[in-house]
Amino acid sequence: MKTIKDQIFGGERPLFAARDTRLERVTITTGESGLKQCHNIECDHCFFEGKYPLWHVYGSRITNCFFAVGSRSAIWYCDDMEMSDCVIDGPKFFREMNNLKISNVIINDADETFWKINGLKATNLRLQDGTYPFMFSQDIVIDGLVANSKYLFQYCKNVEVHNAKITTKDSFWECENVTIYDSELNGEYLAWHSKNVKLIRCHISGEQPLCYDHNLVLEDCTFDSACDRMFEDSDVQATIKGSVTNIKNPRSGRIELDSLGSLTIDENILEPANCQIITREQHS
């Protein structure tokens, strides 16, 4: 493998079609498409400043690198990439990719990042600000996620999340096959209009969570007192620890919980309208 050390590249496509190349302490400065149509690339302790620095790169390992604000839309159309111990300040990263593996990565502007990713494995990922991370992506496994971006995980399929703290709004909308373990989910309108969502040992806060869902499952979850009008028009099987402020018009299933503040059943409930709600305090 060819090694390039301690150099600065600028302009347009300075390393176009590079193959079997390792960059160490290299700066890709102002310009466009520093690495494009490349194969088998390694970047370590590199600084990326110009736009679109990695497009159509196939087989790469990115470690200990920094992506400045100017490196917007930096990594698109790349397959088989591994990234670790990096900081990203630019928006709109990671688009139209297959087989992305990342660990210990901080993204300080997560605006429209991780779009149309097929196969994402992430550990210790932190997202700040921005809107719509992970949209239209599938086959995602994340262990360790801290995020305060808006509208996470829209139109996603086959998602598994562990040990997350997500503070957002309208997350997990129009999703299919989602399982979340041991996580804190803060924000309004969680997981509306989704199919096959399963929450295990999660704590949920925010208004009107988990409405208009099909095949919704909860195991040993807890809810903040601000959660109200939950489960509207949902098929739900739930075991809940503690109390719930309000449940509204669940369509079907079974909900078991310690206590319930209020239940709203009105003329808008949809058939079969046969959800069982069992409070443990009534059976003690």
Reading the chain (284 residues) residue by residue, the pLDDT tens digits are 999 999 999 999 999 999 999 999 999 998 889 999 999 999 999 999 989 999 999 999 999 999 999 998 999 999 999 999 999 999 999 999 999 999 999 999 999 999 999 999 999 999 999 999 999 999 999 999 999 999 999 999 999 999 999 999 899 999 999 999 999 999 999 999 999 999 999 999 999 999 999 999 999 999 999 999 999 999 999 999 999 999 999 999 999 999 999 999 999 899 999 999 999 865 54
pLDDT recorded at residue 248: 97
Cα separations in angstroms, 151 against 122, 189, 234, 256, 278:
19, 10, 21, 29, 33
Quote the pLDDT of residue 280: 80
Residue type, 36: K
Query: What is the rounded distance in angstroms from the CA atom of residue 17 to the CA atom of residue 149?
Result: 35
Q: Are the CB atoms for 264 and 247 separated by under 8 Å?
A: yes
Closest CA to 34 of 59, 49, 19, 54: 54
Reported in sequence order, the residue ranges of 45-114 that DSSP labels E, i.e. its strands, are 47-48, 54-63, 66-67, 75-76, 79-88, 95-107
| Closest by Cα among 51, 83, 50 to 64 | 83
Domains of the chain: 1-90 (2.160.20.80), 169-284 (no CATH)
Neighbours of 171 (CB within 10 A): 27
Rg (CA), the chain: 22
Q: How far apart are CA 230 and CA 249, in angstroms?
A: 8
